[in-house]
C-alpha cells in the first residue's frame, strides 16, 4: 500500500503543478496588454528558444551565469548519487536523491533571484536620479540612461549591462529596456521600460517622467516595508506551524527512536507516515502561497 500511496501523492503534486501553469498562462497583467498595444504594427524580434531556455533564464536572473557550462558534470554527480542511494537504502534512497537535488537547486535559485531583485529595485531610484541630472545637463535620454548604468553598483550594473549590449548592437533603448524588464518580471522595471517606450514613440518630458517613476518606486518600497511590519506576527505564526510537525518528529527520533521505526516497519504505520508527509508538504505549500499574497 505504500507504493500506491506515494504514486497518488506524486500524481497530486503533478496535478497541482499543472493547475499552476494553467493559471499563469491565463493571467495577463495590465502592463503586458499596454505594451502589446504599443507594439502593434512594429516588427517583432524573432526569439530563438532552446530546450534549456527556462533553466538558463532562471540562472541568468539569479546572477549565476549559464548552467550549460558544467551541466554534464552536475548530471553525472546526480546520477551517481541516485545510484548510491539505491545501493544503500533501496528504492526509497534512490527516490530521495532523485527528487532532493532538483528541489534544493530550485529553492536556492529562487532565493538568490529574489534577493538580487530586491537589491536591484533598491538601487533603481539612484540610477534614475543620475539619469535625470544628466538629462537636465543637456544629454539625450539614451546617453543619460547608459551613463547612469556605468556609475551604478552591482547587482544592478551587472544586470543592466544587458541593456548596454543590446543598444551597442543597434537595438533601441526602449526595446532593450523591455527585454530586460521581461527577463526579471518586476512591475517597477516594466514601468521603466513602458515609460521609455512611450517617450520613444510619442516624445515628451523624459526628466519629469523619470522623476515620477522615482517617486512611485520609493512610495511602493515604503508601503511594502509598512506591510511587512504589520504582518510580522502572521509570518512568524506560519513559520511555527510549518516547523512544528518536523520538530516534533525530530524530537521523537532523538528521545524514542523505536517509536517511529516501529511505525515504519508496520504496514499501517507506513501509510500513516506517508500520509503525514503528504499533508505536511501540502500545508507548507499552502502557507507559502498565503505569505506570498501578503
Q: Is the pLDDT of residue 211 over 80?
A: yes
The model's pTM: 0.63
How many other CB atoms sit within 10 Å of the CB of residue 164? 15
Residue 155 resides in a domain:
yes
Place of cell 527577463: 183
Residue 19 resides in a domain:
no
Composition of the chain by helix, strand, coil, percent to 5: 85, 0, 15
Top pLDDT among 10 and 112 is at 112
pLDDT in tens, 139-189: 888 888 888 888 888 888 888 888 988 988 888 888 898 889 888 888 888
Question: Which of 31-45, 80-94, 244-258 has maximum average pLDDT?
Answer: 244-258
First CA to last CA distance, the chain: 40
Per-residue pLDDT band at 35 (split at 50, 70, 90): low
Both 234 and 214 in one domain: the answer is no
Range of the domain at 269: 227-293
Both 244 and 266 in one domain: the answer is yes
Euclidean distance between CA atoms 119 and 164, whole angstroms: 20
- Give residue 13's pLDDT: 66
3-state SS of 188-222 is: HHHHHHHHHHHHHHHCCCHHHHHHHHHHHHHHHHH
| Final residue of a structural domain among 173, 189, 221 | 221
pLDDT over 90 for what percent of the chain?
Answer: 0
Both 181 and 256 in one domain: the answer is no
Both 175 and 191 in one domain: the answer is yes
Both 190 and 123 in one domain: the answer is yes
Both 216 and 232 in one domain: the answer is no
| Final residue of a structural domain among 221, 244, 266 | 221
Contact 1/270 with Cβ under 8 angstroms?
A: yes
Q: Which three cell numbers stand for residue 226?
A: 509598512
73 three-state secondary structure? helix
- Give residue 6's pLDDT: 56
pLDDT over 70 for what percent of the chain?
Answer: 78
Both 201 and 249 in one domain: the answer is no
Both 164 and 184 in one domain: the answer is yes
The answer to whether the Cα torsion of 153, 154, 160, 162 is positive or negative is: positive
Q: Is the pLDDT of residue 51 over 60?
A: no
Residue 274 resides in a domain:
yes
Per-residue pLDDT band at 11 (split at 50, 70, 90): low
Both 208 and 145 in one domain: the answer is yes
Average pLDDT over every residue of 11-32: 64
65: left (phi over 0), alpha (psi -120 to 50) or beta: left
Residue 149 resides in a domain:
yes
Question: Please, how many CA atoms are within 13 Å of residue 70, restricted to the half-sphere of its CB?
Answer: 7
| Final residue of a structural domain among 189, 221, 253 | 221
Does a cis peptide bond (omega within 30 degrees of 0) precede residue 155? yes
Q: Is the pLDDT of residue 44 over 50?
A: no
Residue 11 resides in a domain:
no
Residue 199: CATH number of its domain? 1.20.81
What is the b/e burial string over 120-159, where b = at least 16 CB atoms within 10 angstroms of the residue's CB? bbebbbebbebbbebbeeeeebeebbbebbeebeebbbeb
Both 217 and 232 in one domain: the answer is no
Both 210 and 165 in one domain: the answer is yes
Q: Is the pLDDT of residue 204 over 80?
A: no
Our count of domains for the chain comes to: 2
The mean of the pLDDT values for the chain is: 78
Both 281 and 214 in one domain: the answer is no
Residue 62 resides in a domain:
no
Helix (H) or strand (E) holding 29: none
Euclidean distance between CA atoms 74 and 83, whole angstroms: 14
| Burial class, 217, CB count within 10 angstroms (exposed 0-12 / middle 13-18 / buried 19+) | buried
How far is the CA of 166 from the CAs of 84, 146, 161, 189, in angstroms? 46, 11, 9, 17
Residue 260 resides in a domain:
yes
Residue 269 resides in a domain:
yes
Amino acid at each position: 500500500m505504500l507504493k500506491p500511496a506515494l504514486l497518488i501523492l506524486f500524481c497530486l503534486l503533478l496535478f497541482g503543478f499543472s493547475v499552476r501553469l494553467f493559471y499563469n498562462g491565463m493571467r495577463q497583467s495590465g502592463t503586458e496588454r499596454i505594451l502589446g498595444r504599443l507594439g502593434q504594427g512594429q516588427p517583432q524580434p524573432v526569439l530563438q528558444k532552446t530546450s534549456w531556455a527556462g533553466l538558463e533564464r532562471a540562472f541568468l536572473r539569479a546572477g549565476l551565469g549559464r548552467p550549460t557550462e558544467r551541466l554534464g558534470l552536475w548530471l553525472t554527480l546526480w546520477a551517481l548519487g541516485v545510484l548510491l542511494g539505491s545501493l544503500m537504502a533501496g528504492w526509497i534512497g534512490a527516490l530521495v536523491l532523485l527528487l532532493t537535488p532538483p528541489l534544493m537547486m530550485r529553492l536556492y535559485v529562487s532565493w538568490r533571484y529574489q534577493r538580487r531583485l530586491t537589491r536591484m529595485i533598491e538601487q533603481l531610484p539612484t540610477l534614475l536620479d543620475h539619469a535625470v541630472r544628466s538629462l537636465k545637463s543637456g544629454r539625450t535620454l539614451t546617453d543619460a540612461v547608459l551613463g547612469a548604468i556605468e556609475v551604478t553598483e552591482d547587482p544592478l550594473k551587472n544586470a543592466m549591462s544587458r541593456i548596454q549590449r543590446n543598444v551597442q548592437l543597434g537595438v533601441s533603448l526602449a526595446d532593450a529596456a523591455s527585454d530586460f524588464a521581461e527577463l526579471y518580471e518586476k512591475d517597477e522595471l516594466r514601468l521603466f521600460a513602458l515609460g521609455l517606450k512611450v517617450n520613444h514613440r510619442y516624445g515628451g518630458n523624459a526628466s519629469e517622467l523619470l522623476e515620477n517613476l522615482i517617486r512611485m518606486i520609493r512610495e511602493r518600497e515604503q508601503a511594502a516595508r509598512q506591510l511587512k511590519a504589520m504582518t510580522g506576527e502572521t509570518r512568524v505564526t506560519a513559520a511555527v506551524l510549518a516547523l512544528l510537525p518536523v520538530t516534533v518528529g525530530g524530537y521523537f527520533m532523538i528521545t524514542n527512536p523505536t517509536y517511529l521505526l516501529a511505525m515504519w516497519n508496520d504496514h499501517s504505520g507506513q501509510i500513516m507516515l506517508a500520509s503525514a508527509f503528504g499533508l505536511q508538504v501540502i500545508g507548507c505549500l499552502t502557507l507559502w502561497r498565503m505569505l506570498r499574497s501578503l
